[in-house]
Chains A and B, each alone.
Chain A
Amino acid sequence: MLLIPQVQLPHANYQLRELTIGEAIGLVKLNPLAHEQTISQFLGYVLEDYDSRTLTAQERYLLVAQYISATCLGEADFAIGDDAKYSDYLRMNTPLSLEPIDLGFEEQWQLLPLFGWQAEALEDVCKTWQDWIFGAIAAQLAKKDELENNQLPTIDTPTAEYKDYLKERMTIFKAYPEREFERLYYAFLGGMQALNWYFDIGFDNEGIVCLHKEGQGHAPARFQVSDCLTQTAISFA
């Protein structure tokens, strides 16, 4: 069994272990497009002492990427596409902070991190990249009084109820006048810069992607559980 180095972050240490054959068989049978649910299942196997659904989307991607890095056959700074490497996407200069970011506006919108359990629910609700943007806004924005009065859904909220909450909020945001939504959207993007620890995240039709440090013109990456599996199959073949 490979010994995977501990992922040591300022706020926590994460210990990963290697997948077994049986677990790999279980993972490969999952819907290949349900990335977040597959990541939860994968981290449920390999991550010790933590429920990955309570971690932020960026932390989950970091753990998947670190697993690929530790188990891949080539360099630890593994290649992504033809001209990029893992380190081209990784931003370790911003420490994790879970504090809400005040975006202002009449509603005193607060921007919160996106957690694994929320990303899983978004995956069921969103079908296009536009849906994902509205969905992320619905999941991550909260009015100050909602936050203070603990009126927001939590990880213990039943999934169906949370999906209804997301759909309702997405409908409200989609109905915003264009100019008003644009202001809110740019404030959201600005706030996201502060929340983008480890990876700068964006969205495509299938969900969350990690953006290249140099931004536009470079392909975004998706650190997929299948990347943790194909490496072994190649070496076995």
Chain B
Amino acid sequence: MRQPDFKYPTVSLKQQSALLDSWISAAVMLSAKHSLVTMTYNEALSMALSDLTDIYESQSFKQLQKAQEAENQLKLAPIERLNEVIRGLNNVGKALSYR
């Protein structure tokens, strides 16, 4: 009896957990409260694997992502400005206290 020439590699535990994490993260992202695609976690789990890829690679999804980023920046802009004002006031306070 002759032993086969080669042992075919199997998926490592590290790869296994990376795969698991990537799908769970994707399902969570799709079902998150402020997600671009509105669905429940169970609905996300029932999606075909290629649908997941299609959604993430689609132009409309990328545009939605950009639009959401822009909206977030608009929301953040007044807060940023307020932060600047607070920093300025602090500096004024410090300058006055040195006198």
Contacts and interface: CB of A to CB of B under 8 A. Distances in A.
A22 B46 CA distance: 6
Nearest to A18: B48
A68 B82 CA distance: 56
Contacts, number: 107
Given A25-B24, A232-B53, A219 B6 contact: yes
Contact of B11 (A2, A130, A205, A224): A224
Interface residues of B, number: 33
A220 B8 contact: yes
A44 B54 CA distance: 25
Interface in B13-44: 13, 15-16, 18-20, 22-24, 26-27, 42, 44
A205 B10 contact: no
A221 B9 CA distance: 10
Interface string A217-231: 111111010100110
Contact of B20 (A25, A204, A209, A218): A25
Interface in A200-225: 202-206, 209, 216-222, 224
Interface in A1-48: 1-2, 18-22, 24-25, 28-29, 32-33
Interface residues of A, number: 40
Given A2-B50, A24-B23, A216 B5 contact: yes
A133 interface: yes
A156 B18 CA distance: 38
Interface of A: 1-2, 18-22, 24-25, 28-29, 32-33, 71, 129-130, 133, 185, 202-206, 209, 216-222, 224, 226, 229-230, 232-233, 235-237
28 contacts: A18-B48, A19-B48, A21-B27, A21-B45, A21-B47, A21-B49, A21-B52, A22-B45, A22-B46, A24-B19, A24-B23, A24-B49, A32-B10, A71-B49, A185-B1, A204-B7, A204-B8, A205-B7, A206-B8, A206-B10, A217-B5, A220-B4, A221-B8, A224-B11, A226-B16, A232-B49, A233-B22, A235-B53
List the 10 shortest-distance A-B pairs measured between CB atoms, nearest first.
A22-B45, A219-B6, A1-B48, A226-B11, A222-B8, A232-B49, A18-B48, A204-B4, A2-B50, A28-B19
